[in-house]
A and B are shown apart, each in its own frame.
Chain A
Amino acid sequence: MFGMNKKKQQTKITEQKKQQTDNLPQDFTISSSNEKFIQHIKQKIHSPSDLICKVISDEIRIIYLTHLVDGKSLKEDILKTLEGQDDWTPRTIFEKLPIPEMESSSNFKTCIQEILKGGVLIHVEGFSEVVIAKITTYQTRSLTAPENESQVVGSQIGFNESLPTNVSIVRRYITNPNLCNEQFTIGKHTNTSLSLLYIHGIASEDQVNTVRQRIQDLDINDLIDSANLAELIEDSSSSIFPQLLLTERPDRFCDGLLSGKLGIVVNGSSMAIVSPYSFFEFFQSREDQNLRWPIGTFVRLLRFIAIFIAIFATPMYVATLTFHYDVIPQPLIIPLSESRAIVPFPPVMEALLMELTIELLREAGARLPTKVGQTIGIVGGIVLGTAAVDAGLTSNVLIIIMALSALASFTTPNYVMGNSIRVVRFPIMIFAGFWGYYGLMLAFCIILIHLLRQSSLGAPYLAPFYPPRWKDWPNSIIRLPLPLIKRQPTNTAREESNNALINRSGGLRGEKVKE
Chain B
Amino acid sequence: MSKTSQISNNEKFNVSLVFFIITTCQVGVGIHGFQRLITQQAKQDAWISVILSFLFAHIAVFFMVKTLQLYQTKDLYEIHEDLYGKYVGTLFNFLYIFYYAFAFFVVLRNYIEVIVTWVFPGLSQGFIGITILLTVIYAFTGGFRVLVGIAFFSFFSIIWIPFLLWFPLEFAHYNHLSPVLATDLASIVKGAYTMTFTIVGFEILYFIYPFIKERKKAEKFAHLGLLATLLLYLFIMLVSIVYFSEKQLERTIWATLTLFSVVRLPFIERVEIITICIWLVILLPNLCFFMWAAYRGASRIIKIKPRAFLSIFFVIMYVGILLVQSRYQINHMNNFFSQWAFIIVFIYPFLLYIFAKTKKSIKNRVKNH
Which residues of A pack against B, CB within 8 Å? 323-324, 326-330, 332, 435-438, 440-442, 444-446, 448-450, 452-453, 460, 462, 465-468
Residue of A nearest to B135 (CB): A445
Near A by CB (< 8 A), chain B positions 248-291 give 266-270, 273-274, 277-278, 280-281, 284
8 residue pairs, one from A and one from B, having the closest CB atoms? A437-B277, A452-B149, A453-B142, A441-B280, A441-B277, A452-B146, A449-B139, A466-B149
Question: Which residues of A sit under 8 angstroms from B273, Cβ to Cβ?
Answer: 324, 326-327, 437
Shortest C-beta distance, A433 to chain B (Å), equals 14
Contact B150 A452 (CB under 8 A): yes
Interface-centre pick from A445, A446, A468 (highest chain B CB count, 10 A): A445
Would you list 29 pairs from A and B whose C-beta atoms are within 8 A, ordered by A residue? A324-B273, A326-B269, A326-B270, A327-B269, A329-B266, A329-B268, A329-B269, A435-B120, A435-B131, A436-B277, A437-B119, A437-B273, A437-B274, A438-B128, A438-B280, A441-B281, A445-B135, A445-B280, A448-B153, A449-B139, A449-B142, A449-B150, A452-B149, A452-B150, A460-B145, A465-B152, A466-B152, A467-B149, A468-B152
Residue of A nearest to B213 (CB): A496
Question: Which residues of B sit under 8 angstroms from A466, Cβ to Cβ?
Answer: 149, 152-153
Contact A327 B138 (CB under 8 A): no
Contact A445 B115 (CB under 8 A): no
Contact A453 B146 (CB under 8 A): yes
How far apart are the CA atoms of A506 and B269 in the complex, in Å?
54
Is B14 in contact with chain A by the CB < 8 A criterion? yes
Contact A436 B138 (CB under 8 A): no
Residue of B nearest to A440 (CB): B277
Shortest C-beta distance, B245 to chain A (Å), equals 26
Looking at chain A's contact residues, the main secondary structure is helix
Is B94 in contact with chain A by the CB < 8 A criterion? no
How far apart are the CA atoms of A327 and B276 in the complex, in Å?
13
Shortest C-beta distance, B291 to chain A (Å), equals 13
How far apart are the CA atoms of A467 and B115 in the complex, in Å?
32
Residue of B nearest to A326 (CB): B270
Shortest C-beta distance, A420 to chain B (Å), equals 19
A-B contact count (CB 8 A): 90
Contact B274 A442 (CB under 8 A): no
Mark interface residues in B128-151 (1 if CB within 8 Å of A CB, else 0). 100110010011001101101110
How far apart are the CA atoms of A490 and B154 in the complex, in Å?
23
Shortest C-beta distance, B303 to chain A (Å), equals 25
Is B17 in contact with chain A by the CB < 8 A criterion? yes
Shortest C-beta distance, B309 to chain A (Å), equals 19
Is B123 in contact with chain A by the CB < 8 A criterion? yes
How far apart are the CA atoms of A440 and B148 in the complex, in Å?
22
How far apart are the CA atoms of A404 and B13 in the complex, in Å?
40
Question: Which residues of B sit under 8 angstroms from A323, Cβ to Cβ?
Answer: 120
Question: Which residues of B sit under 8 angstroms from A468, Cβ to Cβ?
Answer: 14, 16-17, 152
Residue of B nearest to A470 (CB): B16
Known: A435-B123, A442-B131, A442-B280. A467 touches B13 (CB 8 A): yes
Residue of B nearest to A442 (CB): B131
Shortest C-beta distance, B288 to chain A (Å), equals 9
Query: B277's contact among A329, A438, A446, A462, by CB below 8 Å, is which?
Result: A438
Contact B120 A449 (CB under 8 A): no
Known: A327-B274, A329-B266, A468-B16. A438 touches B119 (CB 8 A): yes
Shortest C-beta distance, A358 to chain B (Å), equals 25
Question: Which residues of A sit under 8 angstroms from B115, Cβ to Cβ?
Answer: 438
How far apart are the CA atoms of A438 and B129 in the complex, in Å?
12
Contact A446 B135 (CB under 8 A): yes
Question: Which residues of B sit under 8 angstroms from A329, Cβ to Cβ?
Answer: 266-269
Residue of B nearest to A319 (CB): B277
How far apart are the CA atoms of A326 and B271 in the complex, in Å?
10
